[in-house]
Each structure stands twice: as structure tokens, then as C-alpha cells.
Structure 1
Amino acid sequence: MNTEQPLKERLKQILNQNGHALSFEEREILLHELIDLHGQAKEGKNNETEQIRQAFLHNLCHVPQSLTHETFSRFFAENIKPADFRALEWEMPEQYFQITEALYLLRSHIETEKVFDYVTELLVHALRSFERNGEYKKMIELLQLVPVPPSAMNQELLSLRAQAHIHETRRVQHFRQLLYKYLFLQALLIFVAFPILFVKAENGAIAKTIEEATDVEMTEERVQYLSYADGLYWSIITAASIGYGDITPVTNIGRIIAAILGSMGVITIGIIAGLILDRITPRNF
């Protein structure tokens, strides 16, 4: 009986299961089976053994605590190569911590220097995975969470760090531009548009325009005659503090304008406070 075909078929089935949601126990069963398949694979079948090792790592990423198991830790120490990490797809920066914490527990099976090599290699491939998927925010989060000493920096890590820095600079510039545009629009509304609209609403000009345009008679309302200076004063005070009550709208349209401006003012103050801290200041990593 040819045992090579069943091995290939079972390996294919396991690879197809990698993307499925499995329980902790099911993952550990797959890990045991992959170790058995690795033992059955012929020495010359480098492609098969590499696929088995990568499938082992993929499943291990979902259950990193399994590395405390003697069987899994010994297999990892004796068979996993740094190049095998290249096939891993990282979802969250926290996964890196879970794996590296488990790796440090392997120092009884692996030399300390080799553990550091694994950790560095993992970091490189995790960053590459995020870069490949365009997830620069996760790259930056990982670099923030994992301060790398200059002595441990290799050329690839420096390149990835530079890529993250370029993206962060672009992000800051983008949000600065948005903030400046928003502030310009807000200033234009407060100092020009809302004062004029408020004055026209209060003296009945807007209601008269609506009547002429729609041929519908508006309900008669009280009116007050204000200057542009009055409207400007009212607009600034309303946007900054919801008003003092010395100038209040008496028309329905004026009240609507006041409600819009007051809401915009409250929202703007809250947004600016957050944006200044989170968007303008670059994150250090």
C-alpha cells in the first residue's frame, strides 16, 4: 500500500482547516497529528516537511500556550527554522507577545542566543505581514509595544521601522490638513455665514424670501432688527458657550440656526481637544 498518498491527502485536509475556527483541544489534536506527519515524511521531501512545519506554526499561533507542552516544545526546538516564520499571517500585535513569551519558556531546550534569534525573526516577519496587508497601524503598535535596542537592529528591521515612520509622518500630515480645513470652515461659518444668516432670519428677510420662492405664506412672527456686529457677537458667544442670553432668537428660523451653531460649537471643542493630542502629535516607536 502506498502511504505517501494518504500523507499528502491528510496534510491537504489540515491546511484547509487552518482558516477555520477551532477549539483549543482541536488545535492541539492537529499539532499532534502534524508532528506525526512530519515523522512520516521522507527526508527528501523538503516541500512537504516545510509545509508541515508552517502548518504547525500556524496552529501554534492560535494556541501559543501549547508550547509549554513537552512534545510541542521539543518539536519546535528540534525542527522549526527561522525561515518557517515567513508563511505566518499575523492578525494582531498581541499574537507576537504570546508567541515570544512561550518561546522564552523554551530556553531549557534551546540556547538563549537562538531564542533571541527566533524572537527577532518573528518580529521581522510579523512586521512584514502587517506591511504586506497594508496594516501600518498594527506595525506602529507592534513597534511601540516592542522597543528594540540598537544592538538588536539589523538591516531589515531598520528598513521596516523606516517604512512605519514614513507612514506615520503621512498620517500626521493628512490629519493636520483635515484639521486645518475643518478649523477654516468653522471660522468661516462663525465669522461670516452664521452672523449674516442670523441677522436676516431675525429681521424676517429669510422668511420673506421663502414666501416669494414657494408662494406659501409663512406664519407671522415677531422680528428684531440687528446689525452685523450684533450677529457676529451672538455667533461667537453661541459657538463658544451656548450664549449668554442677552441676544436671543425670536424667529423659528433663527432658533434653528442657533441650535445648529450651538451643537457645532460643543462638538468642535471636544473634537479639537482629542485631535490635538492624538492626531497632531506623532506616536513614538
Structure 2
Amino acid sequence: MLEQRIGTWLELQDALFAGSWSEVLGRHRSTFVFRGMPQVTNDLSTALNRKGLFVRKEKDLLRAFRKYARSYSPQPVESVWDWLALAQHHGLPTRMLDWTFSPYVALHFLTENPERYGEDGMVWCVDYRQTNRHLPRRLKTLLQREGADVFTGEMLATTASDLSTFDHLAKHPFVLFLEPPSLDARIVNQFALFSVMNGPELRLDTFLEAQVDGVRKLIIPAALKWEVRDKLDQSNITERVLFPGFDGLSRWLRRYYGPRAPAHASDAPPVRKRRRVTR
């Protein structure tokens, strides 16, 4: 795994889009997914296995969610994978983690909380073609047959219709990336997908730290966060767009019009001294 400390906005752009050129396609088409985190101390534990709180309750949580959520779902949900995506999307502890195809959406989540601007943050960048090399043969064959690099719930259900079957596809840890159905505009606008590992107790950071290729961790210093945030706002990467509706609009306005005191001394613009005019 490569760890890189970023110094400037332009250096950040180069790092986020590094390796995006495809010789085969003759286009800039990145095979990386991204996850922005406001603190370098944040890990990649899931809400299910963080501190071991719910790891033994996965089946109970999902069974109860499916039982009570049917009346709320705007469309029929069939596979366990789509149920998991729906549950994760609405805050239930699951083995999934949120990722995005968009590096700028990842930067939004890095800078969405001004209270964290005094701390270094980070962006995880993961090449799913590299992590796919560790998939069990049945899942590799499925991707090849579909001509895909990430999974859908419908695809995955043809090989593993339940979590127990999925967990027994391989004895070694692996991760796959699952693109959820377009449950709402939030999923679509965030260009979202989820990571899934073959065990509720497994930690993705432990898995990724052992990978030589296709994993980068970009450290974003506190001194750069205000510039990143302001340029994202100008690019229309805001809560109003990523969380459509009254809640997202209010979150954006509260942050945008909130106090903008520098979080770090080096964030303040330089003071220009007036020239003394002699006559």
C-alpha cells in the first residue's frame, strides 16, 4: 500500500486521477473507488464490527429489517444483497462500507464537518481490478461472464443467495464492490457503491494494508481542507446535490454560511503590506 502526504490542490488532483488512462480504451477511465474520511485516525471497521458491538447480531438485524421494512420500501426488494444495500443506506449496522466512484464526492465527506478542519484527513483509493484478483474462482467467472468489474445484487445472488453461502466461497479473506440499485437520488448523485467482505468480523483496512498494488492512502493536511472545501462548493459538490431534499439543503446552508475562521494559522490569507509612498 502506498501512503502519500498531499501538499497542494494540484498535487491532490494528480494523485486522485493517477493511473486513470486506459490504453485499451484510449480514454481516461479510472478503475479506482474512493472513500474520504475527516481524520487520519479513522479506520475501515464497519458499523457491524466496530468494537464488536453487533458482529454476532448480523442475521438478527437483517431478518428484523426485512420483516418490518417491506411496508416502507417504494419498490420490491428481492435479493439479500439489495436488502443489505437498502439497510446500509438507511443506517442499519451491516458489513458494508460506503464508497464512491467519484473522487470529488470522497473529498466532500472528507470536508463536510468544519469542526474537523484542524485535523489531517485521508482519502482511500482502491483499484477494484486489483482486489478482484483475490476473489474466489466462482466470482471471477461471474464477472468475466457479465463483462463487469463490480457486482450488482442480482449478479451476486446467482452465486450466493445468502450470507452463509457467500462466507464459504473461500477460506481466505476477500473483498468485492457492489453497486446498489438506484434506491433514490442520493445513491445516484453520490455515485455510490459498497464494499463487502466474506465475514462479518473482517476489517477492510487489515486486508488493504497487505496489498502491494492498487491501494493508495492520501493524507490531506488540515491546512489544505479549507481550500478543498471552497473549491468543491464552487464545483457544486455540496450537501444540496448529494442529499437532495430539505435536509440536504439545510445542511448545505448551515455549513456554507457558518463561521469561516481559519482552522489552522497557515490557512489565513497573507497580509499585504502597503507600500510607503515618498514624495
TM-score range, shorter chain: under 0.3
Structure of higher CA gyration radius: 1
Q: Which has the higher strand share?
A: 2
Specify which structure has the bigger relative contact order, considering alpha-carbon pairs within 8 angstroms and separated by 6 or more residues: 2
